[in-house]
Amino acid sequence: MARFSPQRELILDILHATKAHPSAAIVYEEARKKMPNISLGTVYRNLEKLSQEGIIENFIFKDISHFDGDKTPHPHFCCKVCGKVTDLSCDNVKIHNLVEGLDGCEIEGETMLFRGVCRECKNK
């Protein structure tokens, strides 16, 4: 087993413990509580690498990159007013059936986004 840096482990722990789909800035804030010396650059680099390696998912909504430690294929609902991201549950197999027609293609990750206004914002 490869040994990973404690910074990387901490960032992964943070992402696995939240459903909030945090931005890099928020992951950084969280990471600093446990590791006061961690730099924003380190957080960015690790998030980038984890995304490239397919260990985490990321998607851009309202020009902000959101990171998701949950690798189970699932769509999201994003509120354009408050920016809140909500996980939607959905049959994994069915989502992947969508790409079955693309012969020989292998799925490494997915991002499904529904955009709109959440209930709280709508009722304001």
Size of the site for Zn ion (CB under 5 A): 8
From candidates 87, 95, 109, 111, binder to Zn ion by CB under 5 A: 87
Q: Which of residues 40-69 bind Zn ion (CB under 5 A)?
A: 68
CA distances from 72 to 31, 56, 57, 109, 116 (A): 24, 10, 10, 9, 23
Site for Zn ion in 102-121 (CB under 5 A): 118, 121
HSE on the CB side for 104, CA within 13 Å? 0
| Nearer Cβ to Zn ion (87/110) | 87
CB of 117: closest distance to Zn ion in angstroms? 6
DSSP 26: H
